Structure 1
Amino acid sequence: MEPAGVAERLHGKTVLITGATGFIAKLLVEKILRLQPRVKRLYLLVRAPDQVSAKERVRSVIMQLQIFLSLREKYQNHFTSWFWDKIFPVAGEVSLNNLGIGNVDLAEDIVKETNIIIHMAAAVNFRER
């Protein structure tokens, strides 16, 4: 028996991705959605002050990327609803306790539901020279 490929292992799974707005993580999100559209959910940890800002950041920094063109063509008018059905932005910060997730219920849901964690975040100080 051959080992299952990565895409097969993601079928029906919930994944938490830290550093989701970083260059490599954005490519990873697209690749997961393209190769395993039956992934249950991708929690994307985004540095943002609140959930509304996190969702807007994902919309503007990830969802609008050209690399999503093949998925836009595949799902056409349903792309936006399909995308938000799979993607759940989470406002947080990896350097803080509990990943900076202020909503305790949301943090508990993430812990209960997540099958796989992909840590892509880095310590970034944009003020350093």
Structure 2
Amino acid sequence: SFELRATKKNKPVKGVVSCSDAQPSSAEELRGIGIVGFFRGKKLLITGATGFLAKVLVEKILRTMPDVGKIFVLIKAKNEAAAMERLQHEIIDAEVFRCLQQKHGKSYQAFMLSKLVPVVGNLCESNLGLDADSVDVIANQVDLIVHSAANTTFDERYDVALNINTRGPCQMMSFARKCKKIKLFLHVSTAYVNGERQGQIMEMPFRMGDCIARERLNTSGTPQRPIPVLDVEGEMKWAVDLEETSQENEVAQKFKKLGMKR
């Protein structure tokens, strides 16, 4: 919880953290709708925690639900030591955890390491690039998966964006099917799901290949024209074929242009 505090000259001081304001203000608020109780003892697998959004989620969970079980954090690294280093510098030492640091004091480091388990992996590989032991442990223990890892660069190479933002969720869902205790799979999408629509947005399921462009066309009153269905597998094959038929010094530029076009 961040707030602005005024000085005597009524000038705001930015970046001041109020830990007291971050706590529930009443017993009713503490009970909520049962989320706190649901998380008690649960074990999670979270991707993207070295980024922005999932890092805030980890902080929220550990601050408001400290009796949560383990949180396995998928980290791209060359080995366990490198993953632990990223966990320390990019998560534990992050400014967003200042409230937790103040709350736990000298025991902060021990608390964080008792909850967070860095796992070396790669989102784009089979079994998330995990070693056999990690696959066995996580698949048998995890109750919830939060997938928040993605490439958010708007002008990214098409093959890179496809690999992370399309293949990545597919690999996550394949792995989730192996988790014996899983109760929830949450995917945080990079898609602008509401497009340019305004007013009340109804939650309607999309079929594979559907897009908002089709919905906008159907409601705009303009003559309908066919909109091609997105063929994800076809797009992936196209990217592979383009790489194989291009000169090495042309690949990066071609995929950059293709990314902007697609």
TM norm structure 2: 0.45
Aligned pairs (5 A) from 1:11-50: 11-50=40-79
2: distance between equivalents of 1:26 and 1:123?
A: 15
Match in the other structure for 1:115:
143
What's the Cα RMSD here?
2.1
1:124 positional shift? 6.7
Which among 89, 108, 118 is matched to residue 79 of structure 1?
108
The structure 1 segments of at least 4 consecutive aligned residues displaced by more than 2 Å after TM superposition are 2-8, 123-129
* Mean Cα deviation higher: 118-127 or 73-82: 118-127
2: distance between equivalents of 1:3 and 1:79?
A: 27
2: distance between equivalents of 1:105 and 1:12?
A: 22
> Percent identity between the aligned chains?
35
Q: Secondary structure at the match of 1:43?
A: strand
Match in the other structure for 1:60:
89
TM norm structure 1: 0.89
Deviations 1:60-96 (A, max 9, x none): 0111111211111111111101100000011111110
Tell me if 1:93 matches 2:129.
Answer: no
Deviations 1:25-58 (A, max 9, x none): 1101100100100001100001111111111101
2: distance between equivalents of 1:94 and 1:127?
A: 17
Greater RCO (CA < 8 Å, at least 6 residues apart) = 1
1: distance between equivalents of 2:36 and 2:140?
A: 22
Say which one has the larger Rg: 2
Q: Secondary structure at the match of 1:88?
A: strand
2: distance between equivalents of 1:76 and 1:3?
A: 28
Q: How many residues align?
A: 127
2: distance between equivalents of 1:60 and 1:127?
A: 26
1: distance between equivalents of 2:112 and 2:62?
A: 9
Higher strand share: 1
Q: Secondary structure at the match of 1:110?
A: helix
Q: Secondary structure at the match of 1:16?
A: strand
One-letter amino acid of the structure 1 residue matched with residue 124 of structure 2: S
2: distance between equivalents of 1:89 and 1:15?
A: 12
Structure 2 stretches lacking a partner, 5+ long: 1-30, 158-255, 257-262
1:18 positional shift? 1.2
Q: Secondary structure at the match of 2:96?
A: helix
One-letter amino acid of the structure 2 residue matched with residue 50 of structure 1: N
2: distance between equivalents of 1:3 and 1:127?
A: 41
One-letter amino acid of the structure 2 residue matched with residue 15 of structure 1: L
One-letter amino acid of the structure 2 residue matched with residue 73 of structure 1: Q
Q: Secondary structure at the match of 2:53?
A: helix
